[in-house]
Structure 1
Amino acid sequence: MEIYGFCAPGFEVLYDAFAKNFRECGDTGAAFAVRQHGELICSLWAGSADRDAERPFTEGTLANVFSCSKGVLALLVMQQAAAGKFDLDRPVAEYWPEFAEGKEFVTARQLLCHRSGLVAFRERINDNLIYDWQAACNKVAATEPWWEPGSQQGYAPFLFGWSLGGLIERVAEKPLLELYREKLAKPLDLDGGFGANDHQSQRIADVSPLKQPLPELRENAIGRAIKEDRKGPVAMAFSNPVSLMMGTNSPEWRGALIPAANGHFSARDLAAIYGDLAKDEPDSLSKEWVNKFSQEQSCARDKILQAEVSFGCGFIRSSKAADLRFGGSQGFGHPGAGGSVGFADPERGIGLGYITTRLGQSLFMDRRAVGLVETLYGLL
């Protein structure tokens, strides 16, 4: 497999770590990028962008990064809070009256750190709902929590996007995609976005499962929880409607606005976003606000993820576990289903992005991203 790109002097061993993912871990199209103190020190890519191996993967290829999208949305939310458009600790219903259904006191902070109880739709939903932005937001507004808000931590795989996206559209009085272009895409020169991002649709890679599953770094208990209770919150969070689990290469998925899960970004995009947040003086948000949202807001054995996770405001915080080690103790970011990840390490000024078209089954980062991260940090 021919590897393209560059590594700054002293970081050349990253070529070998990246190539190993193709030789031994099943990658067929992937990219890896790292910024340090705002400067690009590594950008590597290889393989194909489609299942027929007819389109080459490039530095600007975009891939569906699934829940990595949540970090991008969370940054937009915090920008609006920093601008004084709303208060994180006031009820969302004060800004979005329809949201009060059974959750009149739920705050944006609770939504961001997954303590709202709003983890899934409670009744079976039509498959096409997720492709209709306004209908999905309206349905979330009318959905009651699964438990008393604030009482437990429970990850919201998809409703996170419609609840917080719907909120900031109302307080900013602008469409979410316009906010993204104005506040992030243009200032940071990003190619990707939520969905197909208009003219960039031809740059999106197809995704498919890894042909050979990688050895797990930890037990992924979600599948067992779904089988044990098909109508419980875990099952409903990930598979209601069923279209949430299928069709991620389809025009319908790419054309929709599903900000918790259908972000399509390059590795260079993720490194740019998190590299900016890792700087001493970020362009996208003040350092004071970066510190605010990256501090721990909730840490518990998550009712949906079935694992202990520490959340800031919309971001997962670094831990000692290899699959959630985002550099040092102040690191934060978000992995995505299948293996992609983006994170910031303010202690070392690092912003990192890894995207892949071959989807693994790990709960957080898998051996491909972990191997790259461990190799990088062995050089710092």
Structure 2
Amino acid sequence: MDEIVRDIPINGHCAPEFAAVRDAFVDNFQRRGEIGAAVCVYKDRQKVVDLWGGHKDLARKEPWAEDTIVIQNSLAKSMCAVSMHILIDRGKVDFDAPVADYWPEFAQAGKAGVLIRHILSHTCGVIYCDRATPGSWFRWDEHIKALEQQEPAWVPGTFGAYNSINIGYLLGEVIRRVTGDTPGQFLRKNVTGTLGADYNIGLTPDEIARVSDMHENPKNTFFHISSDASTPLGRAFKSAPQVPYFQNMREIREIEVPSFGGHGNARAMARVYAMLAGDGEIDGVRILSPGAVERTRWLVWERDCIMTRRPLRMGFGFMHNETETVPMGRNMASYGHTGTGGAFAWCDRDRRMSFAYCTNFQREGPGIGARGAVLALAAGGGSKPSWLN
């Protein structure tokens, strides 16, 4: 299917039973201000929706291509979690072991009791990095040293809050200590490269040439909160570079920023999540054992999050279906992740399906935003959020 819809190029294919996804995708361009985007759905390990359209630029001169990639922000957290689940599955890391078993310097400042499971579940308390200097996101050793010196905000394992900045570095340093690979290298070798999924943390020059800029949305509340140093999220953002807008910086593309610096497209993320929906295997390629995948679906905590100011349901590295802010179909056991730019991916293991969406126009509001929500509902059903028109 290649066509022009009111001067908007729409490409790809969509199985007839998922026509509602295509209709919602087109409607996002016509009514909701979409600039460039892609959506992909797998069902029973088969790709049933693969659509892309719109443009890479605000002037709407450069079409979004089949191989266009874009920053997917916090979906990187779930990819670091997949990597850690692989190491646990292989017996290289113990799910219940102290982080300091693999990273001795981490035990400083009251963190000897932080377990691997606490980091994965966003209950470790290491949500701040007070001794980090602005821009240390791009200086791995400096950021890691500051994390070693950081006191936890609560007794590890007793409370949960979204670990917006640090989780990728915490998991990434354990990955590096255990394997010798950076988190981006490990992901390429063991997940995305193995699956042929066009998503990576730390890009090559050829990959950077295919990146679309992420365009600002004044209705994106996440960045409004993070810019206020008096908020918990603002405190966590102390290590951010001192620039007005960091989403399109060269460094965030070239350097591994494992909490939110991954770039890819919907096709790639839907394939990774289809692996989870398929009990760890797709197209004859096994990434995780069925038992390891079962652990990825466990729910750990649910409450209004002090960091994001919205309800969250959190598992071991993954957000769970929350019908008002991150709707993932009619199955409340569905799980995945959102990105503040608007990227959204999840899987429903019971229905053996996965969904992914990415955009170059930041989402609006505190949750996934209208464009991601209508696509997820079209793919997986479920209750419409009260705020969605």
Deviation at 1:122, TM superposition (A): 1.8
TM-score w.r.t. length of structure 2: 0.89
Secondary structure, in 3 states, of the residue corresponding to 2:355? Answer: strand
Matched, 1:110 2:113: no
> What's the counterpart of residue 297 of structure 1?
300
Matched, 1:315 2:322: no
Secondary structure, in 3 states, of the residue corresponding to 1:114? Answer: coil
> What's the counterpart of residue 176 of structure 2?
169
Q: Is the 8 A contact 1:276 1:284 kept in 2?
A: yes
> What's the counterpart of residue 40 of structure 1?
47
Q: Is the 8 A contact 1:111 1:160 kept in 2?
A: yes
Secondary structure, in 3 states, of the residue corresponding to 2:17? Answer: coil
- Judged with a 3 Å threshold, the aligned counterparts in structure 2 of structure 1 residues 239 and 75 are, in CA distance, closer, same or farther, namely same
> What's the counterpart of residue 28 of structure 1?
35
Task: State the alpha-carbon separation in 2 of the partners of residues 369 and 169 from structure 1.
Answer: 34
Pick from 131, 153, 158: which aligns with 1:146?
153
Among all aligned residue pairs of Structure 1 and Structure 2, give the percentage whose two residues are the same amino acid: 26
Deviation at 1:101, TM superposition (A): 1.5
> What's the counterpart of residue 351 of structure 1?
354
Matched, 1:122 2:135: no
- Judged with a 3 Å threshold, the aligned counterparts in structure 2 of structure 1 residues 117 and 222 are, in CA distance, closer, same or farther, namely farther
> What's the counterpart of residue 77 of structure 1?
84
> What's the counterpart of residue 9 of structure 2?
2
Matching residue's letter, 2:363:
G
Deviation at 1:330, TM superposition (A): 1.8
> What's the counterpart of residue 386 of structure 2?
none
Q: Is the 8 A contact 1:248 1:254 kept in 2?
A: no
Q: Pairwise mapping of residues 197-346 of structure 1 onto structure 2 (< 5 A)?
A: 197-210=204-217, 213=219, 223=224, 227=228, 230-243=229-242, 246-280=245-279, 282=281, 283-321=286-324, 323-346=326-349
Secondary structure, in 3 states, of the residue corresponding to 2:357? Answer: strand
Task: State the alpha-carbon separation in 1 of the partners of residues 194 and 15 from structure 2.
Answer: 25
> What's the counterpart of residue 96 of structure 2?
89
Task: State the alpha-carbon separation in 1 of the partners of residues 71 and 273 from structure 2.
Answer: 17
Secondary structure, in 3 states, of the residue corresponding to 2:73? Answer: coil
Matching residue's letter, 1:48:
H
Matching residue's letter, 2:277:
A
Matched, 1:184 2:162: no
> What's the counterpart of residue 159 of structure 1?
166
TM-score w.r.t. length of structure 1: 0.91
Structure 1 unpaired stretches of 5+ = 215-219
> What's the counterpart of residue 3 of structure 2?
none
Deviation at 1:142, TM superposition (A): 2.3
Q: Is the 8 A contact 1:129 1:135 kept in 2?
A: yes
Task: State the alpha-carbon separation in 2 of the partners of residues 179 and 339 from structure 1.
Answer: 25
Question: Deviation per CA, 1:75-108, whole angstroms, max 9, x where unpaired?
Answer: 0010001111111211101110111122111011
Secondary structure, in 3 states, of the residue corresponding to 2:33? Answer: coil
Q: CA-atom RMSD, angstroms? A: 2.3
> What's the counterpart of residue 385 of structure 2?
none
Deviation at 1:20, TM superposition (A): 0.7
